[in-house]
Structure 1
Amino acid sequence: MVTRDELRKNIILEYLTDEMLDELSIITIVIKAKKGTVIYTEGDSAQNVYMLKSGKVLLEQKISPTISVMVNSIDPGESFGWAFLLDKGSNALTATCNEDCEIYMINRDVVLDLMDKDQSLGFMMMKQLSAVLKRRLDQRTIQFLNSVKSHPDIKGLEEC
């Protein structure tokens, strides 16, 4: 079983009470995955939420049938697979282990039931998740603007 201290190392869980973490520890499964293991694939039904204990996970998105772009990397203490929050959500990205990984996994239905039963836990998790989402949105916005800025057509406009 995962301990509360181990769970507390995850950004979205760090402010939960000991009692809340104890509830989560009961429903958390530990997965050990080798480098190259695909955790989930873009378009698949989102059945779980994941929290990285060790290793590195890459999140990729297809931009054509033959090209995928890495849009984020997940480090220990970070979570991924948030499409579980959406009703019948599907994964927007593919998550692949870039190193041997140890991952905490919680089933979608089980964690949503717990969040409904303990709304303080749900609120605290969502508050932290919102902060993480904002940081990632800011990061993607910067990436997008840098990409646009380096486009030859835009560079040509700057010279005018």
Structure 2
Amino acid sequence: MLRRSVEIAREARDMYFERCSKSSCDSVTDDRIPKHRPILVAASVGSYGAYLADGSEYSGNYGDAITVETLKDFHRRRVQVLVESAPDLIAFETIPNKIEAQAYAELLEEENIKIPAWFSFNSKDGVNVVSGDSLLECASIAESCKRVVSVGINCTPPRFISGLILIIKK
């Protein structure tokens, strides 16, 4: 199912390009549609907490038994399957804690993944990620990984977004 989701997205993009080439999309006047930017397919990797289905993706509390190695083992096969499906990007989304950011960064390096990735974190206080770990420390982990091309925020109250972006920009 993971592989198929990326394939469907790529097929939709290709159909769009084909339809545009037949109907001359350059004549489209809607300014919201970028005319010369590529349409990229991102494969989404959710947090371990999303798999647990207990809301822990919004607390980052996975318990003391969960280690970086545990998280890498959990995500490894899913990431491999997504990479094999050839997305343009890999989106590691709603990262709730430093340990999962570290696991993703190490996994990208260990698996020698060439596809660019982004990390997005969530926050409930406008300063830290939801686990209480420093957003700045989490962003630094992402920054240290050669494969990460962007860091962002998601699943966060809108009133915190501007301040969190400023923290990341440091």
Q: Between Structure 1 and Structure 2, which shows a larger proportion of strand residues? A: 1
Q: Which structure exhibits the higher relative contact order, with contacts defined as CA atoms closer than 8 Å and separated by 6 or more residues? A: 1
Shorter-normalised TM-score: what interval? under 0.3
* Greater helix proportion: 2
